Structure 1
């Protein structure tokens, strides 16, 4: 299954520029009420997504959709528009779903089908995708416990989820389109990292717009390097920006050790105790470096993900951007990371 970042597109935002799909999922719908009067343009949208942008298209339908398009059944609808999946929503019994999953490439609603029925459906077709809903209304998105309940029994590679966009939100509410409510006001990159930590590879942006910086960081994470927006203090520490490091596999969750960083304390690069930022209590989000008092450990950089006491052998050299602190929970040990300058869009908002 392709792991590229997916999108959602509808007739109402069909003119929004399309990023290159490279085989990722494009989610659309043939039964959104406000678009019913424009159904004749649906075929043009699917062709644009597939032929021009290179997506595989998943279309949300209910049991009435084929007839509304003058087609006999779901199979005729799938073939008429050259769709890759049908996501079957309302109006189907368990018996109908079992019949359809055996003969068609379909996806099902992960947020509404009980676990016992999911097991039966997966036995009938182990390749079924279960797609969680997105939630346009504030406060209606899933909490993590409910998400895990509805995902139980489904392999992570069979799950599809939505994260919100940021540069352009979809109407009519313009409040973001996340699966998880706590993602509604998070940077999309943070939401992506959360799902990737869960092992979920099929992540779609529900809204039409995503800032270039967010997309760049997501694409880098897909390639195995996580960017951590931060501010490093002092000219001598600027050399740590944009350098790939590895989080040591044996790092505790409260303190992420950067494996290659100890080299900065060698080769005559003396790291003195900092009179202003040395020996300080270490708080979540602090970026710290061992100074010469730590002997051969001098130079090692750590990312603090808890509350730790002051040590006169440790300098605090910077802070993770507050909007990206959750990355410290989601990025796994053994991962490659880069410390990067604070998010461009955050700096623009402050000016």
Structure 2
């Protein structure tokens, strides 16, 4: 499942409601927000959370709220009856710090509860069992890390998740957004440090392949083209790539929808659809070295392979039988590595105003 973040540091606007609606229409199923960000005015949280909750109820979106210590009380809610939060559209609470396992066990009988996936220990699980927590209502949610160099290490993340899965938890993690990046640092909100400046969908695809169950956008927004890419993947299992013309007359030939062949190649993505297109006479042109994201067409020198369309998944040498006709835009090259055998992909011209 995919979700996104909405923060309560300012009055919620109609523009934000439009964004929430568009994300729901794109196939996102959950919203994350926080009631304990140091820079925020906690006295404004209740009104804003109620407004966000009403949007989520209207659009049938889950709403997970991050709390710590007395964050709920400072925001004007009661700790003794968290089930009442469901009236405001809240479907779950993520436990950060200064909340006892006894409290968590009690909360778990009232609504969905997310433990801090990065810090939960076997001792915590034992305590929760002793306190008779409702484990069917417990999930494991990782943090995001605003400060560069503090995001989780990949191998540690994978090892921790193996342990969480062995203990029966579903797992959530964050990937960065690429619009309305949250301050005060404006350096992205990823769970993994390796993801901090990468394309949000590429990060999400890696996490999906690593068996993460819930993947949320940490920052407050996605660019329109990125939102469209998520929508294509969520609804059609299709990767949309934006490409630049390399100056041959064969650029329009490669545009449109494709499917990677089921017999997945090691170095390239091979369009299974190319052979069903009307193949023009293709002479050798721009037979230059290929890089990750080069879109190529085999020319007449490749005989029966003439017209084959490929995307390179690694650097390859120049070949006088292969024309380089387009390049995937640099920030989307990571997506190329996630197009598996049988997966659909679409090549779309990068419009000038999108650059």
TM-score (norm 2): 0.82
CA distance in 2: counterparts of 1:115 and 1:175, whole angstroms? 33
1:247 corresponds in structure 2 to: 260
Q: Does 1:58 align with 2:47?
A: no
Q: 1:17 to 1:75 in 2, by over 3 A?
A: closer
Query: Quick check: 282-291 or 64-73, which moved more?
Result: 64-73
Query: Quick check: 95-104 or 181-190, which moved more?
Result: 95-104
Choose the corresponding residue for 1:284, options 266, 288, 292.
292
Which 4+ runs in 1 deviate beyond 6 A? 118-123
Q: Does 1:332 align with 2:340?
A: yes
Q: What are the equivalent positions in structure 2 for 1:185-334 lying under 5 Å apart?
A: 185-223=197-235, 224-233=237-246, 234-241=248-255, 243-264=256-277, 266=279, 269-274=280-285, 277-278=286-287, 280-334=288-342
CA distance in 2: counterparts of 1:283 and 1:67, whole angstroms? 55
CA distance in 2: counterparts of 1:260 and 1:49, whole angstroms? 42
2:10 corresponds in structure 1 to: 12
CA distance in 2: counterparts of 1:338 and 1:73, whole angstroms? 52
CA distance in 2: counterparts of 1:55 and 1:100, whole angstroms? 21
Q: 1:43 to 1:92 in 2, by over 3 A?
A: closer
Query: Quick check: 314-323 or 109-118, which moved more?
Result: 109-118
Q: Which runs of 5+ in 1 are unaligned?
A: none
Choose the corresponding residue for 1:86, options 89, 93, 97.
93
CA RMSD of aligned residues (A): 3.2
- Once the two structures are TM-superposed, the CA of residue 180 in structure 1 deviates from its matched residue by 2.0
2:43 corresponds in structure 1 to: 37
2:260 and 2:270 in contact (8 A); partners too: yes
CA distance in 2: counterparts of 1:167 and 1:85, whole angstroms? 26
Q: Which runs of 5+ in 2 are unaligned?
A: none
Q: What are the equivalent positions in structure 2 for 1:118-197 lying under 5 Å apart?
A: 125-126=135-136, 128-155=138-165, 158-197=170-209
- Once the two structures are TM-superposed, the CA of residue 336 in structure 1 deviates from its matched residue by 0.3
Query: Aligned pair count?
Result: 339
